[in-house]
Homo-oligomer: A and B are copies of this chain.
Amino acid sequence: MQSLDLTASSIDITRALCDIESVSGNEREIADAVEAAISGRSHLEVVRDGDTVVARTDLGRERRVVIAGHLDTVPVNNNLPTRVDGRFLVGRGTVDMKAGVAVQLKLAAELVAPAVDITWIWYDHEEVSADLNGLGRLAKSHPDLLVGDFAILGEPTNAVIEGGCNGTLRLDVTTRGVRAHSARAWVGRNAIHLAAPILTVLAEYEPREVDVDGLVYRESLNVVGISGGVAGNVIPDECTVSINYRFAPSRSGEEAIAHVREVLHGIDLDVEIVDLAEGARPGLEDPLARSFVAAVGGDALPKYGWTDVARFSALGIPAVNYGPGDALLAHADDERVDTAQITECERGLRAWLTGA
């Protein structure tokens, strides 16, 4: 088994974590390494659940913070092992999100007397179907381990605090016509032609920008897929349009569905909800959040992409994202993290957790 040296720099720990390949479903080795590295410390109680590792302080502090990161990555594509390019560390997982995990592991080992009690969670299966998610599993198998007053997820945010997240709704709408030979088109009814107003309405749609607890969330409503057609000489009887709506956390999932129906009002179609994930409000009114923003410095921003902060939000725990790396490079083949951001996140988190 690969062993992790948590006395190394958080940059070196990032590299060591990345070089343990851990595509979703293959997290055993990295979870073993994390468990071994963090165990045997008197200030931490360690629990293993599948390939999720939890480490808790129990210092009787007034407030408890949950700090979490996922161990898995999307598939490798000739981008491992990592390599160094100037001040960048290049390779799968550098951004999403082993740099964040490295910072957390180093601080978990070093902060033997933090200002708050901390529950550190490193979990599996974040990059795949939501029903496999290790954090979701833990919420069911050990709900006590998720209890806290505030949560921080180490997803890449360019080392800036990003509060909450937009919700996401995906639905398929289908128009139905009547099939016919295309040489006698007037005998049929063209389902793709019937989809024209759907595309027009969505192409012309002006997405909202919504202020939620002081952060402005930018929405988007897009067609992300379309398919229709039987053969080159047949009038098609069916056309399916896949729509993705990213909605501000002030809107519930039910309200999001109602909004899309309203936008498409008057168009004759079938609607199927494919998936729906509620957003999360930023939770920056919480005193813990305020002190965290003050310790990190600068302003907090809204998170546009959906992240597991929504799971904490659903449990009533205010949660923010804070981690090294540019989210636009997550999943990219040339995924790379600015190592200065790793150091900066370690500084910001350490300052806050030690009450400096």
Contact = CB atoms under 8 A, between A and B. Distances in A.
Contact of A223 (B192, B218, B220, B274): B192
A274 to B, nearest CB: 7
A192 B220 CA distance: 15
Contact of A220 (B185, B236, B239, B275): B185
A332 B235 CA distance: 15
The number of times this chain is found in the oligomer is 2
Contacts of A187: 328
Contacts of A220: 182-186
Contact of A235 (B170, B184, B222, B227): B222
A226 B197 CA distance: 15
Nearest to A228: B226
A304 interface: yes
Interface in A213-247: 218, 220, 222-236, 239, 242, 244, 246
Interface of A: 166, 168, 170, 181-187, 190, 192-197, 199-200, 202-203, 207, 218, 220, 222-236, 239, 242, 244, 246, 274-275, 304-306, 327-328
| Nearest 6 pairs of A and B residues by beta carbon | A225-B229, A196-B199, A185-B220, A193-B203, A183-B305, A192-B223
